[in-house]
Amino acid sequence: MSRNAYIVGTGHAVPDGIITNADLEKIVDTSDEWIVTRTGIKERRRVDAETASSDLVAEAVLNALDMAGWKPEDVQGIIVGTVTPDYPFPSTAALVADRLNMGKIPAYDFEAGCTAFIYGLIQAKAFIESGILDRIVVVGVDCLTRITNWDDRSSCILFGDGAGAVAVSSEGPGGRLGGWHWGSDGSLGEYLIQWGGGSRNPASHETVDKNHHTIYMEGSRIFKHAVRAMHDSCMEALKRDGTPKKDVDLLVSHQANLRIIDATARALELEPEQVYINIQKYGNTSAASIPIALDEAHRSGAISESSTVVLAAFGAGLTWGGMILHW
Ligand SMILES: CC(C)(COP(=O)(O)OP(=O)(O)OC[C@H]1O[C@@H](n2cnc3c(N)ncnc32)[C@H](O)[C@@H]1OP(=O)(O)O)[C@@H](O)C(=O)NCCC(=O)NCCS
């Protein structure tokens, strides 16, 4: 009998600290009106000096396990998508597995920018359908305010911190992981990049002086690719799933820019109430944005027992991806 993978628990965590558009007006030459009109963002969350990604992950995972009815020792593997791990190594996943007493399970981080959560779901689906694992936790987390260039008004207004997690099981009921699509184009990598700190430009006084440990972004170039990538990912995932777009109940997409979300919704011919949006509260939380939105949609009842949900994302790499969930 063929095996399926189901989301049986969702959870998220965001820090308490809030940065409003008015706060940003004091740092860079911008305005609330510009930010809201061009992005849809009103405020975003920021970790305090003592908090790192693993702290948010631990809270998000416990929320997901609680909904799933799992104890930490029930988890057979944990994977964390992030570009802002606590440390370059060891992995945030291994730190969290230890902190939550999950036992000596496989735990690793991976990186696909803002698309990471969808990449993670595709990995979870493969592990479960192939019989390698029965219960896995997939996490997306980022603390982008730790690597934000606060002198760059075109990017610093976008980003916020958060974590989202799902418990994925070989046993339903839950949100079955259906058709998917994923891809990348490294020739566009320099449009969204952190130049310093890796093996090409290891950390030095010079890399610090040049602000190369923060995000460099060519926003309008990314924008064009993002709109196309989100559209193509949705359509390809639906095709693989055998689901016509008229059967879609809800779009839960990466929250990077309200105009990009709107363009994707239009391509799917969705009504406004069929699109989950929380960008106004959190900005772009990178790998965390889809699992945070999914958890909120789930807990608020926007996802019901028979919902067909489309996930879509794009991000650094450039990467992109989509997945269909059947509740
Ligand atoms: C960044 C982004 C909001 C900029 O919006 P845009 O409509 O493309 O704006 P542009 O970059 O063309 O800039 C238009 C003008 O606004 C100015 N501007 C940029 N940021 C500004 C700000 N925060 N406040 C006021 N003006 C700003 C620019 O300097 C430019 O001025 P100019 O015409 O005098 O040169 C948009 O391109 C975007 O969201 N891109 C995708 C980025 C993304 O999602 N990255 C993460 C990927 S996961």
Nearest residue (CA) to ligand 1, atom 5? 38
Instruction: Please give the average pLDDT of every successive group of 10 residues along the chain, which has 327 residues.
Output: 94 98 97 98 98 98 98 98 98 98 98 98 98 98 98 97 98 97 97 97 97 96 94 96 97 97 94 97 98 98 94 98 98
CA angle (209 as vertex; 204, 214 as ends), nearest 5: 85
Buried b (16+ CB within 10 A) or exposed e, 250-259: bbbbbbbbbe
Based on the domain organization, do 86 and 194 belong to the same domain? no
Ligand 1 atom showing the smallest separation from residue 28 Cα: 23
**Which residues make Cβ contacts (< 8 Å) with residue 148, sequence separation at least 6?**
155, 156, 159, 214, 215
pLDDT of residue 29: 97
State yes or no: is 63 an active-site residue. no
pLDDT of residue 12: 98
- 1 part of a folded domain: no
Buried b (16+ CB within 10 A) or exposed e, 213-244: bbbbbebeebbebbbebbbbbbbbbbeebebe
- 28 part of a folded domain: yes
CATH, residue 155: 3.40.47.10
Q: Which of 155, 81, 115 shows the shortest CA–CA distance to 312?
A: 115
pLDDT of residue 1: 72
Q: Which residues line ligand 1 (CB under 6 A)?
A: 30, 34-35, 38-39, 113-114, 153-154, 157, 192, 217, 219-220, 222-223, 226, 256-257, 284, 315
3-state secondary structure of 195: coil
Of 158, 173, 188, the last residue of a domain is 173
CA of 315 to the centre of ligand 1 (A): 16
Of 118, 141, 173, the last residue of a domain is 173
pLDDT of residue 38: 97
Answer whether 0.95 is exceeded by the pTM.
yes
CA of 223 to the centre of ligand 1 (A): 9
How many structural domains does the chain have? 2
Based on the domain organization, do 185 and 158 belong to the same domain? no
CA of 31 to the centre of ligand 1 (A): 12
